[in-house]
Amino acid sequence: MNLDRRIEILSKIGQEILEKPEWLAAAVQQAYYANKWFTIDASWNALNAIAYHFLDEKILLEWAGGYPIEDDMQSKSIGLVLAGNIPLVGFHDILCCFVAGHIAMVKLSTKDEILLTALVGRMIELDAEVESRILLTDKLKGFDAIIATGSNNSRTYFEEYFGKYPNIIRKNRNAVAVISGEESEEELIALGHDIFNYFGLGCRNVSKIYVPSGYNFDLMLGTLHDHYKELANHDKYRNNFDYNNALLMLNKVKYLMSGSLIITESEQISSRIATVHYSFYDKLSELESELEERKEEIQCIVTHLNLSRHETFSFGEAQKPGIKDYADGVDTMNFLTSL
């Protein structure tokens, strides 16, 4: 199967996603029954983002053209250990392996089996050769290289077990937002998407905000409450909100809250579900230095400010990565085409 055919299959899948066919709608429904975090809206949001930003034919051709992919290259077997925190979070790794011409040996997360299985199954229907190139397996063995995504704790295990192979091993990261204090209501609403999309479970969700000293949170909290208060109707999210509210009260930790979000001052970047941390800053140059020092904890930065030393995203764009926005800033395609 040559590169042109692989891209043809992927772009066909992208077109079908946008048409919302019955086979995919059924998978979306099944994914919700299996994992209540994967709401119907959340799954379609993830699918549409993949279709628009990954599987457009022009995007695929331009992206693939930036790497030395040859049709007669020797394929390697790449073990993929996928996360399952948000719908289809591991699809980009499968996509990279497939386009690079390697064989993907995929260990799915039990939290996100249904949608990925459905997409791969449809690819096999389009071309039977896909079945020998994307292998869904419960146990990885016989691979030449590994890409593993997990928590900070699992990374230690991954490094011990997979360290002897060429690898990309990822750990916890989160997005941060830098607030100037001059944000419009529209920008604060967009920030809400960065915080709340997928219930804050993604590595690109904002879990920490930096605000100027003396910042008044009233407008932010009021805006977020007005536009995202329905989150409190989701049982799992509400349970986490109530639990964290009680925990902070018992520990006598100072915090602010709206009907769907708790914010508390903390130096930590990663935060619990339904909570966001904040820190004050005085000088933007000093904050840029801190962000540089903590870059291993940060997946992306959202702001309307010009941070000269950092790539940034506009408010509302954190959960809309492009095909070249590689997790942890590590170029997956470069890794794969260099094996």
In a domain, 339, yes or no: no
pLDDT at 156: 81
Taking the CB of residue 26, how many other CB atoms lie within 10 A of it? 12
pLDDT at 39: 97
Q: Say how far apart CA 133 and CA 77 lie, in whole Å.
A: 9
Structural domain count, the chain: 2
Reported as a single tens digit per residue, the pLDDT across 65-107 is 999 999 888 899 999 999 999 999 999 999 999 999 999 999 9
Q: Which residues of the chain have pLDDT under 70?
A: none
pLDDT at 69: 95
- Residue for token pair 């930590």: 268
pLDDT at 155: 79
Task: Answer yes or no: do 116 and 10 share one domain.
Answer: yes
Q: What is the pTM of this model?
A: 0.94
CA dihedral 323, 329, 331, 336 (to 10 degrees): -110
pLDDT at 154: 82
Task: Answer yes or no: do 69 and 193 share one domain.
Answer: no
Alpha-carbon separation of residue 66 from 15, 69, 119, 301, 324 (angstroms): 23, 9, 25, 25, 11
In a domain, 316, yes or no: no
Which CATH number fits the domain that encloses residue 152?
Answer: 3.40.605.10
Domain boundary among 107, 137, 171: 171
Query: Reduced to 3 states, what is the DSSP secondary structure of residue 310?
Result: coil
Range of the domain at 84: 3-171
pLDDT at 309: 84
In a domain, 77, yes or no: yes
pLDDT at 330: 95
